[in-house]
C-alpha cells in the first residue's frame, strides 16, 4: 500500500475535493443567476478584471480607486489600459482589516473586496454610497466566493476559483440592465491550462505516494505563472476545469473551511502571544474563509514561514510587494506582517492542530 505524503498547503491536485450529484454547484452561474447578473466564465480572475476595465474604458471611464492592500494583478489591468489609479489606505484594526476611504475622491470607479472571506458589513455600505454618487462599483469576490453576502450594490463582480480547488477558472458577472458593451472571448485557453492540468495530475501522484518527485511538478508552477502574465486576455477556461466546477461539492467546501478556520482561530487566540495573532479574532456567521490570516511581528514573519516549510506546511503571504503598489508606513504593515494559514477542505481538525503546534514550537525557540 502506498504511503500518503502529509504536506499541508501549496497547489491543489486532481480529485482532491469531494464531488456531488446535487443541483447546486461551484460554478458562478449557480451563485449569480438569481441576482439579475449575467455571467461569463474566464480563464482567470485577471482575465475577468481585464474585461471589466475594457468595458469601463468603452464607457469613458478614466480613473479607478483601488485598495492599497491588494495583489499586483488587481492593479495591472487598469494601468495597462491607461487608466489613472489612486489608492485608498487599508489598515489593520482590532476587529480585522479596515479601509480608509476618502468620500470626496473623484475617481470614476472603485474596487472593493472582503479580505480572506471575512465579510465586513461596511463593504456594502461603501458600495451603496458610491453608487449614489454615480461611481461604478466593482467587487473582487475571489476571497469571499462562498461567504454569505448581498451582491446587489455592485455593478460588476469578478473572481478566481483557483485558490479554492484544482481548476483554471475565473468569472465575470454584470447586471443585466443597461448597455454594458460587447464581451468577446478567445476559444483558445493557451498553454497555461495544459501545464496546470499536468501539475494537478503529477501532484496527485506525489501526494498518493506514487513514483513522482517534487522536482517533476514544482517547476510547472512558475512556468504556468509566467505564461499567465502574458497570455490572460480574452481567454476561456478549459473543459476539464468547467467539469470540475460543475461536480465539486460546494457545501462540503464551505462546512470544512469554516470548521478548520474556527479550530485555528480558537487555538491562535489561546496562545495569547503578541508575536502571532489573528487578524480576525472571531468568525461571523457570514464568513467562509479562504485562509486564516495571522499577523506576525515583522522580525519573525519570514523565519516562521521558513520553519513551517521545513515541517511541510506551506503558507503563502498576501501579497508580495510590486512596482505597481504605493506604500506609506501604515499600509506597508500588512504586506510585511501577514501570513495566511491553510484552512481548506483537503484537511481536518488534526491538520489544523498540527499547524498551530508547529507555530508553538517555533515560538518556544525564539
Tell me the mean pLDDT in the region 182-208: 87
Look at strands 84-93 and 96-100 and give their pairing: antiparallel
Instruction: Give me the percent of the chain exceeding a pLDDT of 70.
Output: 93
Average pLDDT, the chain: 91
Q: Cα(219)–Cα(11) distance, rounded to whole angstroms?
A: 12
- 362: CB partners within 8 A, 6+ apart: 303, 304, 307, 308
Per-residue pLDDT tens for 259-310? Answer: 999 999 999 999 999 999 999 999 999 999 999 999 999 899 999 999 999 9
Higher pLDDT, 208 or 33: 208
Tell me the mean pLDDT in the region 334-339: 96
Radius of gyration of the chain (CA): 20
Tell me the mean pLDDT in the region 127-154: 94
Per-residue pLDDT tens for 308-334? Answer: 999 999 999 999 998 889 877 777 999
- 296: CB partners within 8 A, 6+ apart: 275, 276, 304, 337, 338, 339
Per-residue pLDDT tens for 241-251? Answer: 999 998 999 99
Q: What is the pLDDT of residue 1?
A: 44
Q: What is the pLDDT of residue 249?
A: 92
Q: What is the pLDDT of residue 123?
A: 96
Q: What is the pLDDT of residue 29?
A: 56
Q: Cα(163)–Cα(168) distance, rounded to whole angstroms?
A: 10
Per-residue pLDDT tens for 74-115? Answer: 999 999 999 999 999 999 998 899 999 999 999 999 999 999
Q: What is the pLDDT of residue 176?
A: 66
289 torsion bin: left (phi>0), alpha (psi -120 to 50), beta (else): beta
Q: Are 315 and 340 in contact (CB under 8 A)?
A: yes
Give the confidence band of 38 by pLDDT, cuts at 50, 70, 90: confident
Amino acid at each position: 500500500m502506498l504511503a500518503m505524503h502529509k504536506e499541508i498547503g501549496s497547489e491543489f491536485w486532481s480529485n482532491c475535493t469531494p464531488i456531488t450529484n446535487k443541483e447546486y454547484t461551484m460554478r458562478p452561474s449557480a451563485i449569480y443567476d438569481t441576482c439579475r447578473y449575467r455571467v461569463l466564465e474566464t480563464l482567470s480572475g485577471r482575465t475577468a478584471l481585464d474585461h471589466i476595465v475594457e468595458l469601463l474604458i468603452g464607457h469613458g471611464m478614466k480613473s479607478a480607486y483601488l485598495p492599497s492592500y491588494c495583489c499586483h494583478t488587481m492593479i495591472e489591468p487598469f494601468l495597462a489600459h491607461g487608466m489613472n489609479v489612486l489608492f485608498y489606505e487599508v489598515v489593520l484594526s482590532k476587529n480585522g482589516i479596515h479601509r480608509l476611504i476618502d468620500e470626496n475622491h473623484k475617481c470614476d470607479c472603485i474596487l472593493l473586496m472582503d479580505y480572506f472571506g471575512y465579510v465586513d458589513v461596511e463593504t456594502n455600505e461603501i458600495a451603496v454610497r458610491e453608487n449614489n454618487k454615480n461611481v461604478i462599483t466593482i467587487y473582487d469576490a475571489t476571497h469571499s466566493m462562498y461567504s454569505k453576502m448581498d451582491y446587489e450594490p455592485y455593478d460588476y463582480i469578478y473572481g478566481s476559483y483557483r485558490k479554492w480547488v484544482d481548476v483554471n477558472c475565473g468569472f465575470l458577472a454584470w447586471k443585466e440592465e443597461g448597455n454594458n458593451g460587447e464581451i468577446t472571448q478567445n476559444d483558445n485557453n493557451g498553454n497555461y491550462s495544459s501545464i496546470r492540468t499536468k501539475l494537478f495530475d503529477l501532484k496527485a501522484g506525489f501526494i498518493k505516494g506514487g513514483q513522482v518527485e517534487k522536482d517533476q511538478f514544482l517547476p510547472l508552477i512558475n512556468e504556468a505563472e509566467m505564461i499567465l502574465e502574458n497570455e490572460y486576455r480574452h481567454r476561456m477556461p478549459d473543459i476539464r476545469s468547467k467539469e470540475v466546477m460543475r461536480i465539486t461539492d460546494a457545501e462540503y467546501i464551505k462546512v470544512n473551511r469554516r470548521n478548520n478556520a474556527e479550530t485555528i482561530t480558537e487555538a491562535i487566540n489561546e496562545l495569547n502571544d503578541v508575536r502571532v495573532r489573528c487578524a480576525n479574532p472571531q468568525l461571523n456567521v457570514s464568513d467562509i474563509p479562504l485562509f486564516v490570516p495571522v499577523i506576525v511581528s515583522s522580525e519573525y514573519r519570514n523565519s516562521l514561514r521558513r520553519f513551517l516549510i521545513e515541517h511541510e506546511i506551506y503558507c503563502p503571504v498576501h501579497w508580495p510587494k510590486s512596482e505597481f503598489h504605493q506604500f506609506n508606513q501604515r499600509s506597508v504593515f500588512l504586506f510585511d506582517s501577514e501570513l495566511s494559514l491553510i484552512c481548506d477542505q483537503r484537511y481536518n481538525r488534526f491538520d489544523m492542530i498540527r499547524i498551530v503546534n508547529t507555530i508553538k514550537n517555533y515560538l518556544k525557540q525564539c
